[in-house]
Amino acid sequence: MYKNYYKRWIDILLSLIALPFFLVILCVFSPIIWFTDHGPVFYNYPRLGKVGKVFKMFKFRSMIVNAPDIRNADGSTYNDDNDPRLTKIGQFMRKTSIDETPQILNVLFGNMSLIGPRAHIITNYNGYDSLDEDRKRRLSVLPGITGYNQAYYRNSVSSEQKLKNDIYYVDHLTFEMDVKVLFKTAVSVLKQENIYVEQHGETTVETVEQPEETKQTIEVGSK
């Protein structure tokens, strides 16, 4: 009953309560982001939602305009404290997770939940029917602003381990689980735990606007 009914009503209620706080954040950070390089305030990127439905997820833009799309060898998004694509205000927003706050709008629109698996990028996505059973299970619930994996591990584990963590959450989804995740998220953000993960090996670099043949490979060493 909680998973299929009460969870959605709690999402709406808490999002409405949080909305005035988000509007304050919007008023403070929007001009700072814009004056940094006169680029857009929001970064809207297609993500996978429940049962494979694609939607645009809202975030505050933390990178320079037309930043190249950098991926790790496993296809996950490159994330590093010294990422040259990040603006100064973007670094602060990443560390404090302020860049994620516009997703309150996605929750109100019904694309996301406050707590759930991470909304994944659509690279190499060939439709819901092409996914294996584990990835379909992950998409059986709405993706979340935060979740079990983000709260306990953030960016410190591999993509495959994140998948296992997401499935564990889906299989154990209860009101008590969501409360634990919510409080652990607050602790992780305050302590700034596992924001960046040390990278090694080959990383694919791609600018979205470029054609396929412009992709290149770089080495990302330890800091």
pLDDT attached to residue 122: 85
Question: Do residues 169 and 147 make contact, with C-beta atoms less than 8 angstroms apart?
Answer: yes
Give domain status of residue 125, yes or no.
yes
pLDDT attached to residue 154: 73
Give domain status of residue 207, yes or no.
no
Give domain status of residue 177, yes or no.
yes
pLDDT attached to residue 202: 47
Give domain status of residue 218, yes or no.
no
Give domain status of residue 213, yes or no.
no
Collapsing DSSP states into helix, strand and coil, what is residue 93?
helix
Question: Do residues 44 and 56 make contact, with C-beta atoms less than 8 angstroms apart?
Answer: yes
Residue 172 lies in domain: 2-198
pLDDT attached to residue 171: 94
Spell out, as residue ranges, where the chain has pLDDT lower than 70: 71-81, 155, 192-223
Cα 46 to chain centroid distance, Å, stands at: 11
Give domain status of residue 112, yes or no.
yes
- Counting DSSP H helices and E strands in the chain, the numbers are 7, 7
pLDDT attached to residue 76: 64
pLDDT attached to residue 148: 92
Sequence-distant (6+) residues with CB within 8 A of 191 are none
pTM, full prediction: 0.81
Structural domains of the chain, count: 1
Give domain status of residue 212, yes or no.
no
pLDDT attached to residue 121: 85
Q: What is the number of alpha carbons within 13 Å of residue 216 lying toward its C-beta?
A: 7
**How long is the chain?**
223
Run of H or E residues at 152? helix 148-152
pLDDT attached to residue 221: 38
C-alpha pair distances (Å), 81 with each of 19, 164, 196, 223: 29, 26, 6, 9
Collapsing DSSP states into helix, strand and coil, what is residue 39?
coil
Give domain status of residue 221, yes or no.
no
pLDDT attached to residue 130: 92
Run of H or E residues at 48? strand 42-48
